[in-house]
Amino acid sequence: MTEVKPASPKQLKWLCDLLKKHDTSGWPEEWAATADRLRDAFDEIGAHDYPPEELNQELAGKGGVPLSMEDFHRLLPKLQDSPIVRKDKAVAKSKNPPTEDGIYATVSKGRGEDHSDWVRYYKVYWNNERNRLLAKEIVLTDEAEPPSEQWPDGKPAISELVYRGMAERFVTADDKYQPTLEEALAFGPTYGRCGICGRELNDEVSVKLGIGPVCGGREFGDNFKTMHKIAKAELEAK
């Protein structure tokens, strides 16, 4: 059986650079999908401050198949023959792509239980180079529960951020989540995250309100500050 040699760190770095510089949108569908998956993979490890040379370690750690030298040599000539991405064309393929980070919400009409609307929430953020917006879906893993003997103050909800890829594939600028104060307060207990920035809530007062103090003060001003003081006093009085 022939041994499959993984791509070297130097090859992975080269591949990452080529994928950033060259336009693969004109490739056959299967090849273009492969290029997009690799871009997403490089962006994901970059978001965690890992260099592109560690792509195969990351793939292996997740049970994936490392990129081989053969894969690299198959992609190299195609990338080198592809046009350079023009700076004025390097914007998202979507006609109305997101242009800022934050929480986004998409609604699928009648796709939920009992034909209700199905809402997906995404945390959109910039990659390290701040030239591409990426998306992580906020996925509920453990629902909140009302107060009980085991959880006197109620069990908080737990959610995780699941990496999805380039934000333009999942959301548009119109999907930016701009909740009212009441909606933001409801989002926090449902997902265990701030309804404005999507960060996990750990502070006792923030968990109770469902919004972090910085986001709440910035978005809702004195109304929120008053609520924060009241919530803090109620917790201290227990």
Task: Give phi and psi for 14, each to the nearest 5.
Answer: -60, -45
Residue 108 in this model has a pLDDT that exceeds 60: yes
Q: 103 forms bridges with which residues in the sheet?
A: 123
Strands 133-142, 158-166: pairing kind? antiparallel
pLDDT at position 40, please? 79
What pLDDT shows up at residue 3?
78
What's the whole-model pTM score? 0.60
The runs of H, that is alpha helices, within the chain are: 9-21, 29-47, 55-61, 69-80, 181-191, 204-209, 213-236
Handedness of CA 51, 27, 63, 137 (dihedral sign): positive
- Position 104 scores a pLDDT of 95
Q: Decide: residue 141, CB within 10 A, 0-12 exposed, 13-18 middle, 19+ buried.
A: exposed
Residues whose CB is less than 8 angstroms from the CB of residue 170 and which lie 6 or more positions away in sequence, other chains included: 104, 106, 120, 122, 135, 137, 164
Distance CA 140, CA 43 (A): 24
Q: What is the DSSP string of 51-76?
A: -GGGHHHHHHHTT-PPPBHHHHHHHH
SS3 label, residue 211: coil
The sign one gets for the Cα dihedral 62, 68, 74, 79 is positive
pLDDT tens for each residue of 11-61: 999 998 898 888 887 888 888 888 888 887 887 787 666 788 888 887 777
